[in-house]
Amino acid sequence: MAKEAKQEFVQHITPRNENFSQWYTDVVTQAELMDYTPVRGCMAMKPYGNRIWELIHEHLDAMFKETGHENVSMPMLIPESLLLKEAEHVEGFAPEVAWVTQGGVEPLQERLAVRPTSETIFCTMFAKWVHSWRDLPMKYNQWCSVMRWEKTTRPFLRTAEFWWQEGHTVHATPEESEEETQLMLNVYKTFCENKLAIPVYAGRKSDKEKFAGAQATYSVEAMMQDGKALQAGTSHNFGTNFSVPFNIQYLSKDGRLEYCHETSWGCSTRLIGAIIMTHGDERGLKLPPAIAPFQTVVLPIAAHKGGVIEKCTEVVEALRSDGIRVKFDDRDNVSPGWKFNEWELKGVPLRLEIGPKDIEKGQVTAVRRDTFEKTTLPLDDQLPAAVNKMLGDIQENMFRIALAFREAHTKDVSGMDELKSQVDGGYARAMWCGDRACEDRIKEETGATSRNMPFDQTPIGDKCVCCGKKADRVMYFAKAY
Amino acid sequence: MAKEAKQEFVQHITPRNENFSQWYTDVVTQAELMDYTPVRGCMAMKPYGNRIWELIHEHLDAMFKETGHENVSMPMLIPESLLLKEAEHVEGFAPEVAWVTQGGVEPLQERLAVRPTSETIFCTMFAKWVHSWRDLPMKYNQWCSVMRWEKTTRPFLRTAEFWWQEGHTVHATPEESEEETQLMLNVYKTFCENKLAIPVYAGRKSDKEKFAGAQATYSVEAMMQDGKALQAGTSHNFGTNFSVPFNIQYLSKDGRLEYCHETSWGCSTRLIGAIIMTHGDERGLKLPPAIAPFQTVVLPIAAHKGGVIEKCTEVVEALRSDGIRVKFDDRDNVSPGWKFNEWELKGVPLRLEIGPKDIEKGQVTAVRRDTFEKTTLPLDDQLPAAVNKMLGDIQENMFRIALAFREAHTKDVSGMDELKSQVDGGYARAMWCGDRACEDRIKEETGATSRNMPFDQTPIGDKCVCCGKKADRVMYFAKAY
């Protein structure tokens, strides 16, 4: 049977430097994160990929609740008339909406959009729910999937349907909505860095790149191993852009009707794509312990020898009751070597091997996925603590490596040639005059887009990288997913 | 301010015995569980209602995982051709499907159904994923919302969009699929009784009432306070009904291609309707502690007096760190009496009052929502344990009361007149010959439908309640939601 399974399993993963895009596809499918479906542009998340999303959900949801947000669930269909209320918004989203036109046997009088995002239905409900200053702030979030009829799709990175969370909040003043926008941007930054081990640049989007209908959009931008940017989360301040057309007003303390100030913010299953492309290697996926479905896998060596399975079972139970997510791979139809490959491909952070010799010496053999370093840990009461410590080290080391990569692939540039060559495999930091025309030209000539303007705007020059005119903005440029 | 808030808040709840249906609507809206939306038949779950669903999700998901299931996420749109593959299934669901016919600016070549349920897409993927007996069983579940274009809708009980979980599993043998079907039926029964404090009748549906495409459907049926039945969960054994048209085959140990045996099972946000109508009273909602967003509310009495707020804060923190879901209501713009009403309406199981006299006596005053019994608990280190004990008592007592109500409103009947009068306010247990004609006549003459056949089939007679011919089946009949 070992042979049969082997034939199914060991497939070639394209080397990253040969074809990064093919490498990505190989990893996504061979690690069994998702599968293609007969529904155009829509994927199925398999248990392993879905579990990563569940863990992302768990961590982020706790952070949302700690910062005073509550979850709600809104309808997935939105009447066309609502979508039309905010002009920029409809222009941005209408071309990629899937429309329901028939309900049961009868054609609908009004088309219903499968939500591409939910600002318009949230705003409709907020207009009903907000009355006085005492109702504010109203800070809601929902976990759901949304649909955008994309022309070309790629697993996790761009799919017609994707899973996400979308926060929608209402405030009394512009100061409060700006504070919320920054707060949630910072939640995303903290989450990406501490849980996904992905360093991100946080900053403000240009007008060209901001969300359709927003006053200001902020983003966190990650760097993939091919040097391209991936927008990992966005946070929008709408000001009164939606509250005016949707008539969301509140009675202030001194008895006046005032328009509310709103925000929205979201991140999606594309984070899974970011994890793969930030950390993965020739052997496959490499998962940060905080969101790994299995943080450690326990493998019996010479399992037929007396006491091995029993000892493994003990260890598994001890780790599990300490809260560690552990997989016990006791399959008897594949070899240990086969299992090594499989769990490396699936990115499990730590492998624990237990054989007769280990038991004799009172140890387990530990192999780290991040460094392939092989050590031994004492097989005693302190094992769960030692494993937790090692998982912590792996989490930190993965961040350190990703950060070093990003720093090595970010460069200040002052002219178009330099910019063009830099964005071939990294981020360019440059001065920009603020003109849309320069952004467009940069895109045309280099393929890079403006990513965001960092909060630290210490100038690195005074001329626009493109037109050479006076410039006072620092902007990151990169090719992007 | 107290007055202003009071005017908004204290609304009349219609008495249950005057108009049960209106009482239900009053409770649903005034307890802020949901709101109506401009989308036909679709509701918005507000934070309080959504949180109940989150807690249901949490408990059930843990039970699914303990029984070996993994979560996946499937596309929300299903091509029409897939829906057409199983004849009975399409006949059952086609009349209530919402159809996507337009994607972006182009009309679609094939209509896509907004999933009314996901058997057809799961089966399509199973055909791809199942190869050999080693892949089996495959036990998956997904949490999502589905859409059924219903003519008349009621919050939680019947909405066009509703939130649910749907389990889909694949097995090698008919014995295993039957075992799974029963296992999950039992999970639902245990969950309803232990967590929702709702006693249920578990049994098998008649052919008329079974799921479109199933070989056998089992259900758990609850009794509402108006004596009507509410189907709280269903579990279906498909046999090979889907695996044949979808061609889901596996290579057996002895090398033969065999069709798989499948199941599906689900429960939905209508459970929230069941909670309301099983436990609620004239003052509003009454939540079982296991799924109450707030298990206890702490109210300061004479909050302006020195030390009251401090003591309340201490208590709140002690309860919270013991894992109790606690709300600290320190609003200063409404009176304690006002707060009593509000938290009773919202069904919080236990109210803790702390005032200067309580502090002096080293006690907190505890008022149970289920009995309105007022006692005192010592204000010491043991308070969290005492509160937990009381929450446990409330949970048990709520189940006991609901069970007593159900027993008092279930009766064995042997003729049509008796049946008709019994189903006016309860369940009738009767002998049934098994003929569809009798089911139809019973429905026509009494308004009741067959609910299910209990596993204990000890006969209570030998003649069909309807036609008087020989009968060997025991069946529950009731009017149903």
Kindly report the CATH number assigned to the domain that includes residue A44.
Answer: 3.30.930.10
Which of A1, A79, A105 comes nearest B38 by C-beta?
A79
Same domain, A126 and A34: yes
Same domain, A273 and A300: no
Token representation of residue B336: 């304690």
Q: What is the pLDDT of residues B436-462, one digit of tens each?
A: 999 999 999 999 999 999 999 999 999
CA distance B405 to B30: 26
- Residue of B319, B160, B158, B171 lying closest to B240 (CA atoms): B171
The reply to whether A330 falls in a domain is yes
∠ CA B344-B350-B353, rounded to 5°: 90
Q: Check residue B89 and give its pLDDT.
A: 84
The reply to whether A1 falls in a domain is no
Q: What is the value of ipTM here, to two decimals?
A: 0.95
Q: What is the pLDDT of residues B172-217, one digit of tens each?
A: 999 999 999 999 999 999 999 999 999 999 999 999 999 999 999 9
The domain total for chain A is 3
Chosen domain end from A362, A390, A418: A390
B-proximal residues of A, 126-145, CB under 8 Å: 128-129, 131, 134, 140, 144-145
Q: Check residue B11 and give its pLDDT.
A: 66
DSSP state of A91: H
Q: In chain B, what residues touch A146 (CB-CB under 8 Å)?
A: none
Quick check: A73 contacting B, CB < 8 Å? Answer: yes
CB contact (8 A) between residue A78 and residue B129: no
Q: In chain A, what residues touch B144 (CB-CB under 8 Å)?
A: 145
The reply to whether B8 falls in a domain is no
CB contact (8 A) between residue B102 and residue A111: yes
3-state helix, strand, coil in chain A (%, to 5): 35, 30, 35
Same domain, A225 and A78: yes
B-proximal residues of A, 388-447, CB under 8 Å: none
The reply to whether A321 falls in a domain is yes
CB contact (8 A) between residue B114 and residue A333: no
CA distance A195 to A184: 16
A-proximal residues of B, 276-335, CB under 8 Å: 333
∠ CA B89-B95-B99, rounded to 5°: 100
Residue A438 belongs to a domain with what CATH number? 3.30.110.30
For residue A74, give the 3-state DSSP assignment: coil
The reply to whether B124 falls in a domain is yes
Closest approach of A4 to chain B, Cα-based (Å): 10
Quick check: A53 contacting B, CB < 8 Å? Answer: yes
CA distance B288 to B401: 12
Same domain, B53 and B123: yes
Same domain, A418 and A464: yes
Same domain, B335 and B254: no
Same domain, A165 and A30: yes
Same domain, A250 and A326: no
Which of A43, A124, A144 comes nearest B38 by C-beta?
A124
pLDDT (tens place) for every residue of chain A, 481 residues total? 334 444 445 568 999 999 999 999 999 999 999 999 999 999 999 999 999 999 999 999 999 999 999 999 999 999 999 999 988 888 888 889 999 999 998 899 999 999 999 999 999 999 999 999 999 999 999 999 999 998 899 999 999 999 999 999 999 999 999 999 999 999 999 999 999 999 999 999 999 999 999 999 999 999 999 999 999 999 999 999 999 999 999 999 999 999 999 999 999 999 999 999 999 999 999 999 999 999 999 999 999 999 999 999 999 999 999 999 999 999 999 999 999 999 999 999 999 999 999 999 999 999 999 999 999 999 999 999 999 999 999 999 999 999 999 999 999 999 999 999 999 999 999 999 999 999 999 999 999 999 999 999 999 999 999 999 999 999 999 999 9
CB contact (8 A) between residue B125 and residue A72: no
Quick check: B251 contacting A, CB < 8 Å? Answer: no
The reply to whether B169 falls in a domain is yes
Same domain, A273 and A359: no
- Residue of B81, B350, B115, B272 lying closest to A100 (CA atoms): B115
Q: In chain A, what residues touch B129 (CB-CB under 8 Å)?
A: 35
CA distance A214 to B248: 48
The reply to whether A401 falls in a domain is no
Question: Can you give the residue range of the structural domain that contains A332?
Answer: 294-390
Closest approach of A450 to chain B, Cα-based (Å): 27
